[in-house]
Amino acid sequence: MIRIYFLLKLFSILSICLLMSCEDPQNEYKPQYGYFLKEDKIDFRIYAPNADSVILVIFQNYDDDDGEEYIMEKLHSGDWEISIKGLKVGALYGYRLIGPYNSPSVIIADPYSKLAVTQNNFRHIAKSLIIDNSFDWEGDSWSKTKMNDLIIYEAHLRDMTAHGTSGVENNGSYKGFIENDQKGGIEHLKNLGVNAVQFLPLWDFANFEIPYKVDTVGFYNDWNPYERNHWGYMPTFFMAPETYYSSDHSSKPDSWNGQNGLAVKEMKEMVKELHANDIAVILDVVINHVSNYDFHPLKYIDKSIYFKLNDDGSYVSQCCGNLLDTDNPKVLEYILSSLKYWMINYHIDGFRFDQCYLLSSETAKLIKKELQEINPNVFLYGEAWNERESEFSQMGWGSFNAYFRDVMRGDLYDYRIKGFLFGDYRPGEDIDDVKSLLNGTSSGKMKTYVNPGHAINFLEVHDDYCFNDYIRFSLGLNQKSDVIKDPMKHIKLNELQLKINKLGAMFLLLSKGVPIIHQGQEWAHSQVIASASSNDVNIGKMDRNPYNKDNATNWVNWSELSINADLVNYYKNLIKLRKEFPVLSSQNVENALFDVISNTSIGYFPDEDLAIFFNGDVKESKTVQLPPGDWIVLLDEKNLDLGGLKTVNKELILPFLSGIVLKRLP
């Protein structure tokens, strides 16, 4: 595969070298397919080697069913080309293909679309829009923050400002996210102190699904009464920003989004503003499958090239309907072109790869190599499940550290099997597992990662029950079948819940590795299914997987922020503390020392002048013997003062389910 890929790789490297240097990402990256603006014409190129005929269709209006047709010329390479004089920015186009793998009745959009005008329908009918890609970045560049120094906030762009309490004019949009004087969006990230945001998918996806319980051309939806795919894991156009988040969007069924092409400029403005506030931008990307039910161009160009197929010609399915053949040179070229396009044209700092464990090691290595040739500091991590975390770390990738979550919380599904934060462990685990976590799972009992910067530590992310719903189940405060009558009262923490939350936050933000905080985690949110005009019999229950709800189940209600303000402030203090002491995020674990007090209590010394103690016992305080000298308390379970809350020596009493941070006086 390497030999087959060599010429494509060489072409890609030469193109990038001509376009840019590693110090300047401001030039435009142009893939070898799509449209090409010339002085008096526009060239088009598409790869369809098995088609008998390819016709370019130019539309007059975004909602036209047909347009003016031009027969394209086939080259020996399998490419089809044509030049159209007099065509300008703002034109809409698509392709009609005729051949053994094509459906001539379907006009597809360009898979290399820079902007797709899409219809709110499960078919995700789309037309490609020719845009002016110019943008004044005003000197903006990629983040200079090193990966091991990241403090990541996982956010759904629409959810962060869609609720009326956000106080924005452009709710749920790129523009809304960076509005001033709001409670959500960028203002919350700045107040919290994080230095990176990981957005759930922002490139174009099929967000409308099949009508509920209606026979629909061979499909029958009896599982999703909301008829939405809200989170974005059904990707369509790998180089086009999602127009549902632009100011020219509509949420009405069968209406159109993106007619004016505003998403391109608005997303770039958002990235630029985040960078201006020292916040890196990481995209959650899906490169292993495409959307299920729509007229996805790769399926209608030649599925034998782009997809893994069963013997009967059907798609190989892995949870989402189909799998791209990511080792195929043309698929790999498409993926790499997409990632480079986002890096160069949108100044994206890195990528979180959904289900990256499905990638071969050869493909993962190529992705890293080629992206680092553009930006050596690019952030690369993903879901390396199936025990591939170590393998990906050896290749220089980070990955989500489920071991951190499970040692801290307990079994993901059986809430009777509790973890450290509940004063217990899963079978076979003990205080030595806690040591490994504190050193970024890169030493000791569980040496998974080459260095701590590859361990993406989390207590919750968008998948599964959020941390605080897990706590409620584990403590027996709620059952899954409970209907929550008053969600605001429901999220108010009692003393025990608050202690577990604070100790978990302390462990997350003071361990080595890269911490990631999911939106709402910092005030103990709950995913309660909101009332909506649907047939959902589970309204009022806590939701494990609200991927399909574009409503208040997911929208952040910023009134909740004040209910557990003490916890929010604790997160802020921990972030401030982590930034103050670089040793907490350094990749050096050789100097770290431990003081095991009990099987659920431990002292951690990242260096000789900083001491951190954790007490996971659910009932008993612990007496801590301090090293010689005077120590100032920087953080206890309530307050932070970098100048020192008080001075202690010899010993101290550590309350149950709490922690403390000390600095040695000279």
Instruction: Work out the burial of residue 666: count CB atoms within 10 Å of its CB; fewer than 13 is exposed, 13-18 middle, 19 or more buried.
Output: exposed
Q: What pLDDT score was predicted for residue 24?
A: 59
Considering the domain boundaries, does residue 502 fall inside one?
no
Range of the domain at 621: 592-664
Token couple for 233 = 């894991």
Q: What pLDDT score was predicted for residue 468?
A: 97
Q: How far apart are CA 230 and CA 557, in angstroms?
A: 17
Q: How far apart are CA 324 and CA 362, in angstroms?
A: 15
Rg of the chain, C-alpha, whole Å: 26
Q: Are 624 and 634 in contact (CB under 8 A)?
A: no
CA torsion through residues 526, 532, 538, 544, sign: negative
Q: What pLDDT score was predicted for residue 532?
A: 78
Closest CA to 397 of 339, 343, 436, 448: 448
Q: How far apart are CA 442 and CA 502, in angstroms?
A: 24
Cα-to-chain-centroid distance, residue 153: 9
- CATH number of the domain residue 618 falls in: 2.60.40.1180
Q: How many domains does the chain have?
A: 1
Considering the domain boundaries, does residue 80 fall inside one?
no
Which pTM does this prediction carry?
Answer: 0.95
Considering the domain boundaries, does residue 617 fall inside one?
yes
Instruction: Work out the burial of residue 15: count CB atoms within 10 Å of its CB; fewer than 13 is exposed, 13-18 middle, 19 or more buried.
Output: middle
Q: How far apart are CA 513 and CA 610, in angstroms?
A: 17
| DSSP-assigned states of every residue in 342-362 | HHHHH---EEEETTGGGS-HH
Token couple for 226 = 């909301």
Closest CA to 5 of 295, 335, 284: 335
Cα angle value 205/211/217 (rounded, 5°): 95
Tell me the CA distances in angstroms from 382 to 75, 164, 371, one per residue in order.
38, 33, 15
Considering the domain boundaries, does residue 599 fall inside one?
yes
Considering the domain boundaries, does residue 642 fall inside one?
yes
Considering the domain boundaries, does residue 610 fall inside one?
yes
Considering the domain boundaries, does residue 659 fall inside one?
yes
| DSSP-assigned states of every residue in 478-543 | --TT---S-HHHHT---HHHHHHHHHHHHHHHHSSSEEEEETTGGGT---BPPP-SS--TTTTSB-
Q: What pLDDT score was predicted for residue 22?
A: 46
**Spans of the chain below 50 pLDDT:** 1-22
pLDDT in tens, 124-143: 999 999 999 999 999 999 99
Q: What pLDDT score was predicted for residue 3?
A: 45
Backbone angles phi and psi of 422, in degrees to 5: -115, 15
